């Protein structure tokens, strides 16, 4: 089976740093994605990790440890517009499942002034 766990809600302060954790247990692994979703809108791609380590992209960074089944998304210099849900998603490996991705339930992040 496939299981992706992330906190339901988090709150952080404008200008601060926040780390959103994700753990996964999947039958295979062929990459992990983070998406941002504002209320009532479609998810938008933030990052992709397939190898262990940290990928940095502006204010956002994503880390992966395949041996631990663990990832985190790090958001720096938080802005009010960062208030959104953050979705962790895993692509299982193999065959016709090569492109399917499995989403977690998302972490709703609220930024306070």
Partner 1 sequence: DTGVSQDPRHKITKRGQNVTFRCDPISEHNRLYWYRQTLGQGPEFLTYFQNEAQLEKSRLLSDRFSAERPKGSFSTLEIQRTEQGDSAMYLCASSFSGTQNEQFFGPGTRLTVL
In angstroms, the Cα distances linking 17 to 87, 92, 113 are: 18, 30, 13
Q: Does the footprint of partner 1 cover residue 105 (CB under 8 A)?
A: yes
Q: Kindly determine how many residues on this chain lie close enough to bind partner 1 according to the rule CB under 8 A.
A: 23
Q: Does the footprint of partner 1 cover residue 57 (CB under 8 A)?
A: no
Q: Does the footprint of partner 1 cover residue 45 (CB under 8 A)?
A: yes
CB 92 within 8 A of CB 3: no
Q: What is the smallest separation between the CB atom of 43 and partner 1, expressed in angstroms?
A: 5
Virtual torsion, Cα 78, 79, 85, 87, nearest 10 deg: -50
**Binding pattern to partner 1, positions 76-95, x when CB under 8 A?**
-----------x-x-x----
């Amino acid at each position: 089976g496939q299981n992706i766990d992330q906190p339901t809600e988090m709150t952080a302060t404008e200008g601060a740093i926040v780390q959103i954790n994700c753990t996964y247990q999947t039958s295979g692994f062929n990459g992990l994605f983070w998406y941002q979703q504002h209320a009532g809108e479609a998810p938008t791609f933030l990052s992709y990790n397939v190898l262990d380590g940290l990928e940095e992209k502006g204010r956002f960074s994503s880390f992966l440890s395949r041996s631990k089944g663990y990832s985190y998304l790090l958001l720096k210099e938080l802005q009010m517009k960062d208030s959104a849900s953050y979705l962790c998603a895993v692509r299982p490996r193999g065959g016709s499942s090569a492109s399917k991705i499995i989403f977690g339930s998302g972490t709703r992040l609220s930024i306070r002034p």
